[in-house]
Amino acid sequence: MGGLMPMTVKFRHGETEALGIIEKVSYEIKGNDVIVTYQDGMAKGMAMRYTVTGPNTVRTEIGVLQRIK
């Protein structure tokens, strides 16, 4: 991800990992949006919207994520 906080974010079933921090999450799909709700950790209770803008990109309020291999 570029933008305000450049980093790699990994999305797995029931969790995300960024900056070495693994957090439990739930995912909800609404059209082109994926709502990620944090279940524990520093962001517990917070939800973040990821809007799919292409086959390999999503947009958030803090930057654009691009799929890497």
Whether 36 contacts 16, CB under 8 Å: yes
The pLDDT tens digits along the chain (69 residues) read: 666 667 888 999 999 998 899 999 999 999 999 999 999 888 899 999 999 999 999 998 888 888 887
* Domain with 20 in it: 9-66
Q: What is the pLDDT of residue 2?
A: 64
- Cα–Cα dist 60/8, whole Å: 14
Q: What is the pLDDT of residue 65?
A: 87
Residue 2 domain-assigned (yes or no): no
Model pTM? 0.83
Residue 36 domain-assigned (yes or no): yes
The count of structural domains within the chain is 1
Residue 1 domain-assigned (yes or no): no
Residue 4 domain-assigned (yes or no): no
